[in-house]
């Protein structure tokens, strides 16, 4: 996105050409990938012509002027249907933009369309019975999952159908598809980015953030969308730093903790080796690396399941009473489970949350960032239910969520970025976790890593 913005600003390419190229790629590849639910070709071309006219009149807005992007289809878009990946909202056309969509429009970015997702964001696989299952562009033939719930975002960015996206992340839904599709995805701190106008899954766990091809591009998207929003009472009034300026490439003296138990040690062997190699690479660049374990994370799966099931059912209860047959089966079953979680269970889970949050804070009191796998396994095949991790057999769904959801629980910022490939050519994802509201350091570390490696520059054959 940064490169495109620069080329547009210097008139090496026109926004119209850039949008046309992306629309052509969507037409050529998306019948297979199923990354888009809605393509806004006419609207995008009209916006591109307007952006070009402004540029020629000397009225460039900034680095995103004329740069196309596409959000996951749970962001409200004025006049463009917002389905949440569901049949229930198939014809829902919002009257307003979500705050972050409006902010990106004001920054000059051009909406290409709306991206596929696990129905109502309730699943880490990224499957969708209504709009088709998104295919991972790294292995289209085997039909591996793109990861979810922001599956369309992961596949579209990896395959070059859109240079950037906004996903949402309740248990890992930005970082899981980023990991499985070999792109860079940032879940900011809870409260850093407004969720107003974004369909909720679980209010106290939902985060929204950028999915792009590099830390630099994540910084470029995060700047305009971060900051206080009166429409979202959970947003922070803390000032928004210049994230681009934080990308110095320098990690000398930064203290990095490699998360061992539950995270790196539990990963599949090739993932573990790649994450350890990433820690070594950062050490070679001057970071001070040590090892750390979090003892309470073993309880995160249960506590988050109770919280998400309760909050999700609270939102969906009216439709679950009147239109339950319109949900895809796995989502309907997960929502039903919420009916059996008691208030006492919910509060107990929130007590565990306080404990885990404090433990992550303690680990970061002596370190600048923590490292872990983003997912402990590469992209599974569609329908694969069991896998083997470093600590034994695991349900695929639980494995996908294992390394990411502790930081939805705690609210800390976390970024997934590619750190290698398996022998079969599937991406492996690294996760960098930072202190609350210190996205700048998280992005600085990922950017520094991307300056000394080239994993993030590789493209799938399907692209």
Residue in 173, 194, 214, 349 annotated catalytic: 173
* Nearer residue to other proteins within complex by CB, 139 or 206: 206
* Nearer residue to other proteins within complex by CB, 28 or 339: 339
Question: Which has the closest alpha carbon to 177: 416, 449, 385?
Answer: 416
Residue in 14, 47, 72, 165 annotated catalytic: 72
The β-bridge relationship of strands 165-169 and 207-212 is antiparallel
The yes-or-no answer on residue 394 being catalytic is no
* Nearer residue to other proteins within complex by CB, 346 or 421: 346
* Nearer residue to other proteins within complex by CB, 203 or 315: 203
The CA R_g of the chain, rounded to the nearest whole Å, is 20
Cβ-based burial of 111 (10 A; exposed 0-12, middle 13-18, buried ≥19): buried
Question: Which has the closest alpha carbon to 89: 326, 402, 350?
Answer: 326
What distance in Å separates the CA atoms of residue 298 and residue 237, rounded to the nearest whole number? 33
Task: Give least dist CB 339 to other proteins, A.
Answer: 5
Instruction: Read off the tokens for 153.
Output: 């975002």
Cβ-based burial of 366 (10 A; exposed 0-12, middle 13-18, buried ≥19): exposed
Ordered strands of the 207-212 beta sheet: 110-111, 68-71, 165-169, 207-212, 184-187, 414-421, 427-434, 369-373, 255-259, 288-292
What distance in Å separates the CA atoms of residue 280 and residue 430, rounded to the nearest whole number? 13
Q: Tokens 């996205």 correspond to what residue?
A: 439
Task: Give least dist CB 270 to other proteins, A.
Answer: 30
Task: Give least dist CB 223 to other proteins, A.
Answer: 19
Task: Give least dist CB 340 to other proteins, A.
Answer: 5
* Nearer residue to other proteins within complex by CB, 344 or 423: 344
The Cβ of residue 192 has, within 10 Å, a number of other Cβ atoms equal to 26
The yes-or-no answer on residue 269 being catalytic is no
Binding footprint of other proteins on the chain (CB under 8 A): 189-191, 203-204, 234-238, 299, 301-303, 305-306, 309, 317, 320-321, 324, 333, 336-337, 339-341, 345, 347-355, 357-358, 410-412, 436-437
The β-bridge relationship of strands 255-259 and 369-373 is parallel
Task: Give least dist CB 197 to other proteins, A.
Answer: 19
Residue in 47, 149, 194, 349 annotated catalytic: 149
Task: Give least dist CB 306 to other proteins, A.
Answer: 6
The yes-or-no answer on residue 165 being catalytic is no
Phi-psi category of residue 337: left, alpha or beta, with phi > 0 → left and psi -120 to 50 → alpha: alpha
Length of the chain: 463
* Nearer residue to other proteins within complex by CB, 86 or 357: 357
Task: Give least dist CB 399 to other proteins, A.
Answer: 16
Q: Is the peptide bond prior to 149 cis by the omega test (within 30 degrees of 0)? A: yes
* Nearer residue to other proteins within complex by CB, 136 or 404: 404
The Cβ of residue 75 has, within 10 Å, a number of other Cβ atoms equal to 29
Among all residues, which ones are annotated catalytic? 72, 149, 173
């Amino acid at each position: 996105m940064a490169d495109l913005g620069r080329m547009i600003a210097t008139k090496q390419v026109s926004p119209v050409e850039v949008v046309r190229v992306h629309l052509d790629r969507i037409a050529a590849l998306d019948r297979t990938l199923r990354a888009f639910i809605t393509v806004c070709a006419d609207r995008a071309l009209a916006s591109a012509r307007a952006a070009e006219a402004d540029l020629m009149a000397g009225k460039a807005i900034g680095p995103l002027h004329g740069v196309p992007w596409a959000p996951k289809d749970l962001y409200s878009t004025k006049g463009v249907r917002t389905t949440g990946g569901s049949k229930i909202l198939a014809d829902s056309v919002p009257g307003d933009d979500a705050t972050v969509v409006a902010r990106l429009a004001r920054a000059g970015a051009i909406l290409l369309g709306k991206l596929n997702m696990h129905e109502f964001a309730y699943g880490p696989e990224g499957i969708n019975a209504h709009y088709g299952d998104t295919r991972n562009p790294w292995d289209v033939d085997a039909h591996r999952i793109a990861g979810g719930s922001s599956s369309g975002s992961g596949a579209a960015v990896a395959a070059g159908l859109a240079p950037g996206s906004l996903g949402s992340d309740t248990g890992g839904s930005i970082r899981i598809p980023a990991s499985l599709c070999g792109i860079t995805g940032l879940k900011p701190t809870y409260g850093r980015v407004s969720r107003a106008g974004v369909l909720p899954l679980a209010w106290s766990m939902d985060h929204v953030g950028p999915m792009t091809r590099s830390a630099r591009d994540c910084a470029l998207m995060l700047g305009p969308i971060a900051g206080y929003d009166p429409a979202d009472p959970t947003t922070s009034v803390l000032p928004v730093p210049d994230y681009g300026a934080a990308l110095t490439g320098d990690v000398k003296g930064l203290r990095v903790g490699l998360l061992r138990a539950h995270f790196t040690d539990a990963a599949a062997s090739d993932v573990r080796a790649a994450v350890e190699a990433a820690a070594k690479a950062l050490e070679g660049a001057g970071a001070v690396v040590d090892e750390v374990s979090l003892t309470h994370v073993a309880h995160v799966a249960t506590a988050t399941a109770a919280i998400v099931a309760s909050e999700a059912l609270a939102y969906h209860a009216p439709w679950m009473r009147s239109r339950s047959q319109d949900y895809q089966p796995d989502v309907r079953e997960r929502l039903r489970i919420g009916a059996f979680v008691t208030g006492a269970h919910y509060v107990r889970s929130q007590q565990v949350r306080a404990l885990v949050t404090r433990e992550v804070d303690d680990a970061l009191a002596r370190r600048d960032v923590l490292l872990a796998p983003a997912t402990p396994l590469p992209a599974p095949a569609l329908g694969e239910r069991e896998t083997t991790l470093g600590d034994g057999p695991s349900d695929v769904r639980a494995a996908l969520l294992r390394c990411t959801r502790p930081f939805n629980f705690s609210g800390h910022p976390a970024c997934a970025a590619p750190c290698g490939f398996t022998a079969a050519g599937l991406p492996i994802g690294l996760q960098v976790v930072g202190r609350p509201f210190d996205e700048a350091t998280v992005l600085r570390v990922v950017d520094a890593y991307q300056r000394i490696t080239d994993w993030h520059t590789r493209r799938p054959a399907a692209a």
